[in-house]
Structure 1
Amino acid sequence: MTADIIDGKAFAAGLRNKVAGHVARLVADHGITPGLAVVLVGDDPASDVYVRSKGRMTKAAGMLSVEHRLPADTTQDDLLALVARLNADRAIHGILVQLPLPKGIDEARVLATILPAKDVDGFHISNVGLLAVGQRAMVPCTPLGCILMLREHLGDLSGLDAVVIGRSNIVGKPMAQLLLGENCTVTLAHSRTRDLAGVVRRADIVVAAVGRPCMVTADWIKPGATVIDVGINRTDAGLVGDVDFAGVAAVAGAITPVPGGVGPMTIACLLANTVTACCRANGLPEPMGLTL
């Protein structure tokens, strides 16, 4: 068996095109331009690359892109004051504070200061709670991208056995909630799970999000399963995922590559969330194809 390759790069390009179409209609029909503000504190190289990419793609979609680059010695009070100004700015519909923040700044407090309606990262505790009880929420971008690709590839997910490896607040936990919302039978596995390989082996859907290079091997995978690899690990051999791609691709029915799988979907979903937030703020119908 040779797995189908789920092309996240192509899927993300299609999603960004949908976003651009919705933005054009918002501008033409209502005179409204969705606005995304990104705040970067410090000079972390990886964060800098990510923020520049976000800004470029936001502008390409016809949206307002605002960047606030603050020095590493910015105080927590100054950062909170900036977030408060962005909360009050009606031209800004989405706010993203790039993580990690420098030492001495309480990330939880900063994220809690962002208005839930503008929390396009989906990290605010209010959005976390709404997602947990199945109500309308801003959904974290990476899990949202995963579920959109799974829907596209598999169609109805109802009744499928899904295993999420990793219980982070950013990916693992919200991913499990989204799969429950699709009526999957969900196991959230982690470092303390007994017989992890055996647990994973029964799954129709495997989502790996642990940050350990090539941890998931072919003998863990049920033949024909769909494997979503969220991991991005820098090694001497280059970027690799949490899944042994070559080995697992010989067993699985479908798999996302690294790079070119889940990664491109994260920014595309950030743009989609911003358009959704804009529509909600203005009492307009939520755009079809961008939300769950």
Structure 2
Amino acid sequence: MKPAAFTYHAPASAAEVVGLLGELGDEAKVIAGGQSLVPMLALRLASFRHLVDLRRVDELRGIERRGDDSVWIGACTTQATVQRSEGVRTAVPLLARATPLIGHFQIRSRGTVGGSLAHADSAAEYPAVALTLDAQMHAVSPRGRRTIPAARFLTGMWSTELADDELLTGIDIPIWNGRCGFAVEEFARRSGDFAIAGATVAVRVDGDGRLDRCAIGLFGLGPTAMRARDTEAALIGSDPLDSDADGIGRSATEGLGSVPSDLHGSAPYRTRVGAAMVARAWRRAVQEALHG
């Protein structure tokens, strides 16, 4: 298959991109690495009259630590760049550990941080990491700039809060300080495939060894990545050494309303796998927080 005909644009700045999006509206689509969009265009699952290529927009690339508070990553920064970054490994371990799970190295060499977030696949790793760590998305449009919390950014399968004329420019990821532990676990049929179910866990313990911060993300278990906020709240103040990891996994995945059921697995199967991934990630994160 070949994509439907389109007009190609290659602007050199974010301002030019925004100008094109404002002019062309929903007839235009931004393309970054193209690892998700190009196959959809080739299969004609999607078509647009205009493609706006970001490859020349250098201001959308880079990784910058902003004090002790956060790490900024430009939307067009490749996943391979994130994987190689010592700064990311040190400041945002969860993102560093999730990155090698994305496809294969050829995909990561072209795929971008912003592309993964804006594509918003429910089984993708980066949206779950962003949600788990309470990241902030930065966007610009003809109306100006705005910041979108990760909790509001994901609105459904392959859909986000971004308007048709809005460009995702970067992401700010908060740095967790103190005695912290992080883990990501996923189950896929083959290495590099999208996850049937997965979990991201971040924990922090206080001076007495009790949990004073906790985040549990789920992916592959609904139309978007999710947080198990009720389970998180119930764990605050508890002793992680007394925690029942399997029970936490069941608690985090019970009552999910829209678990997919397809040829890769039924909804009950995915739910059981998700619970097991939460339990496995919980054990690893707690171990790291308590013992390093």
Question: TM-score normalised by the shorter chain: which range applies?
Answer: under 0.3
Give the TM-score normalised by structure 2: 0.28
> Which has more strand, going by share of residues?
2
TM-score of the superposed pair, with normalisation by structure 1: 0.28
Structure with higher RCO (Cα < 8 A, 6+ apart): 1
Q: Which has the higher helix share?
A: 1
